[in-house]
């Protein structure tokens, strides 16, 4: 079953019910009105802080855009790129592309003009849908993209080279185009996070997308009564594939444009959200805001919030212990996945396994996992090796890159590049990225282990451990530490805190600075390595 059939089914069964809500709390604060005062929407749609869409409207808009694309010459196998901030139009546009038999190509909203050009060329895109935030980045590279023949603009005051999406689509038929789509048809190209250079183009088919719907619903039990609060960017598999469980259940979702703790809690309260997927920094910010008194939980209606799950990066156990202190009734899950494995769920902790906090869990629904050593064989229990996964959501390939594909896909197994170990109960623990392992005096140091330890210090908001060159030891561990607001801490205090670590695991340089993360919450360690090259490092050096 192609994933487009799920949308058609929802429109048939639940047509008049709300499918999606978009909330822009920044606009709400600007206008100082309640989210329930709809007069603002009626008088000035461009300034709407809350918009909603039924399942029938969702399907109709997808069909209209599909018919528009077909009328403009888009055909099966063509690529249509999407460069938008989260908005109510995002998902109907995505599904409209799929209904033509074409391939949707979501783009990271942080891409520079050069990165946009690179990704459009790599994906061989024939069309681009973009919003007003990106005109200044798209226009300068447009002349260098002869293959891109169509530009659709979502918003008012479109540039001269683009067609207005809403005006062009509204005159097209709302009936589904008669295009036969199968499970094996290519559906979407997602780009890797690009934290190590220009991203790779990851190709998935419809079977892969549908498998993600089933895995997510199996793990978290979404029903028609649930309401999923979606905060991460929709271009990334982590947000969309968690929403896929709600999509399969036919339940509503809320797209929140903002990550401030009070905005998240207000959205949960006002919209009666039951499921929230967070990144580590956002969960950290909520806890910090509670503990500082910036937000007061008794001002919000949160009783219906049943599940907080988290992923996209290693999760410090100390964070979850803090979370349970303030939200003891919450179900909790950690989800592990890659864009190459259609996002989250190939490994997950499981709602019943909170006693194993710190592990990423066991293979997810319909997935297998192994930990492989250098010789290509599984390592003994407790030993560290590379995590490999196998299941229905493994990518088809890196588009137009057979060499990179062959390096990670072997006999149906996806080699993740993540180093891991398995305990006596079969639970998998991430140790680190293969490329991030620090070899210090012949000893392997795994930064995630040191980071987890440092997260236990109550003054530390975030931490990243990187390897820096050392004349004698080859590499040493440097800890970049971001303190909580209004907290102070000295190098000596950090070193004293680390005294309980084995000596070889203790960071040898302590640096107080902000920890950069990308939109999916991953630490941008290449930026830190570039910044703190040996010749310019200002830090405390610990004697060997």
Give the domains, in start order, of the chain with CATH numbers: 4-258 (3.40.50.12780), 307-433 (2.30.38.10), 437-541 (3.30.300.30)
Q: What is the pLDDT of residues 256-281, one digit of tens each?
A: 999 999 999 999 999 999 999 988 77
In degrees and rounded to multiples of 5, residue 403 shows phi and psi of -65, -45
What does pLDDT average to over the chain? 88
* CA 467 vs CA 155, 309, 385, 455, 509: distances in Å: 45, 30, 20, 18, 10
Q: What percent of the chain has pLDDT over 90?
A: 67
* CA 330 vs CA 154, 315, 320: distances in Å: 38, 17, 11
Q: How far apart are CA 27 and CA 45, in angstroms?
A: 12
For the cut 50, the answer to whether the pLDDT of residue 52 exceeds it is yes
| Cβ contacts of 507 within 8 Å, gap of 6 or more | 450, 454, 465, 477, 478, 479, 498, 542
Q: At which residue do the structure tokens 């190939």 appear?
A: 346
* Residues 357, 389 contacting (CB under 8 angstroms): no
pLDDT of residue 40: 38
Residues facing 385 on adjacent strands: 420
Local confidence band at 349 (pLDDT 50, 70, 90 cut-offs): very high
pLDDT of residue 443: 66
Conformational region of residue 221, where left means phi above 0, alpha means psi within -120 to 50, and beta covers everything else: left
pLDDT of residue 42: 39
Q: At which residue do the structure tokens 């390939």 appear?
A: 397
**Residue among 503, 452, 502 nearest 479 (CA):** 452
Q: Which residue has the higher pLDDT, 441 or 324?
A: 324
Q: How far apart are CA 256 and CA 263, in angstroms?
A: 8
Listed in order, strand segments (DSSP E) in 285-412 are 307-311, 331-338, 343-348, 362-363, 368-372, 385-390, 397-398, 409-410
* Residues 381, 425 contacting (CB under 8 angstroms): no
pLDDT of residue 432: 65
Q: What is the pLDDT of residues 138-191, one digit of tens each?
A: 999 999 999 999 999 999 889 999 999 999 999 999 999 999 999 999 999 999
* Residues 77, 127 contacting (CB under 8 angstroms): no
Q: What is the pLDDT of residues 184-232, one digit of tens each?
A: 999 999 998 654 457 899 999 999 999 999 999 999 999 999 999 999 8
CA angle 76, 81, 87 (to 5 degrees): 120
**Residue among 245, 256, 298 nearest 278 (CA):** 256
Q: How far apart are CA 301 and CA 309, in angstroms?
A: 19
Lowest mean pLDDT among 43-52, 401-410, 512-521: 43-52
| Cβ contacts of 458 within 8 Å, gap of 6 or more | none
Q: What is the pLDDT of residues 315-343, one digit of tens each?
A: 778 888 899 999 999 999 988 888 999 87
Reported pTM: 0.82
* Residues 64, 174 contacting (CB under 8 angstroms): yes
| Cβ contacts of 526 within 8 Å, gap of 6 or more | 195, 196, 197
């Amino acid at each position: 079953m192609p994933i487009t059939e799920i949308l058609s089914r929802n429109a048939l069964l639940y047509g008049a019910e709300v499918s999606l809500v978009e909330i822009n709390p920044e606009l709400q604060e600007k206008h100082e009105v309640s989210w329930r005062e709809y007069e603002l929407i009626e008088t000035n749609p461009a300034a709407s802080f809350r918009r909603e869409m039924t399942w029938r409207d969702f399907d109709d808009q997808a069909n209209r855009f599909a018919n528009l694309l077909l009328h403009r010459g888009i055909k099966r196998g063509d690529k249509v790129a999407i460069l938008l901030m989260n908005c109510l139009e995002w998902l109907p546009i995505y599904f409209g592309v799929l209904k033509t038999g074409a391939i949707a190509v979501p783009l990271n909203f942080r891409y520079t003009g050069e990165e946009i050009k690179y990704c459009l060329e790599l994906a061989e895109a024939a069309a681009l849908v973009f919003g007003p935030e990106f005109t200044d980045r798209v226009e300068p590279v447009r002349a260098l993209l002869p293959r891109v023949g169509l530009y659709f603009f979502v918003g008012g005051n479109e540039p001269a080279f683009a067609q207005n999406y809403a005006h062009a689509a509204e005159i097209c038929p709302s009936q589904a185009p008669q295009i036969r789509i199968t499970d094996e048809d290519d559906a979407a190209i997602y780009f890797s996070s690009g934290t190590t250079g220009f991203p790779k183009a990851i190709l998935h088919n419809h079977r892969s997308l549908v498998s993600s719907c089933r895995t997510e619903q199996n793990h978290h039990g979404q029903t028609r009564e649930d309401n999923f609060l979606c905060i991460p960017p929709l271009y990334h598999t982590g947000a969309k594939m968690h929403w896929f469980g709600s999509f399969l259940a036919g339940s509503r979702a809320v797209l929140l444009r903002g990550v401030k703790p009070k905005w998240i809690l207000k959205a949960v309260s006002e919209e009666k959200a039951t499921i929230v997927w967070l990144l580590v920094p956002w969960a950290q910010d909520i806890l910090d805001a509670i503990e500082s008194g910036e937000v007061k939980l008794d001002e919000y209606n949160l009783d219906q919030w049943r599940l907080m799950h988290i992923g996209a990066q290693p999760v410090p156990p100390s964070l979850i212990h803090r979370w349970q202190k303030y939200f003891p009734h919450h179900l909790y899950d950690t989800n592990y996945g890659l864009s190459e494995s259609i996002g989250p769920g190939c490994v997950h902790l499981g709602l019943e396994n909170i006693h194993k906090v710190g592990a990423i869990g066991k293979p997810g629904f319909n997935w297998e996992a192994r930990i492989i050593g250098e010789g290509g064989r599984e390592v003994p229990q407790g030993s560290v090796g590379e995590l490999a996964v196998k299941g229905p959501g493994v990518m088809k390939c890196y588009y137009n890159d057979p060499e990179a594909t062959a390096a990670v896909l072997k006999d149906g197994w996806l080699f993740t590049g993540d180093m891991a170990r398995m305990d006596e109960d079969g639970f998998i623990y991430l140790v680190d990225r293969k490329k991030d392992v620090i070899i210090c005096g012949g000893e392997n140091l795994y930064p995630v282990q040191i980071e987890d330890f440092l997260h236990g210090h109550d003054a530390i908001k975030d931490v990243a451990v990187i390897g820096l060159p050392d004349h004698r030891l080859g590499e040493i561990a440097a800890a970049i530490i971001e303190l909580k607001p209004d907290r102070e801490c000295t190098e000596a205090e950090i070193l004293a805190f680390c005294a309980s670590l084995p000596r070889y695991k203790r960071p040898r340089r302590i640096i107080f600075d902000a920890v950069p993360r990308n939109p999916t919450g991953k630490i941008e360690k290449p930026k830190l390595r570039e910044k703190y090259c040996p010749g310019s490092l200002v830090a405390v050096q610990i004697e060997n």
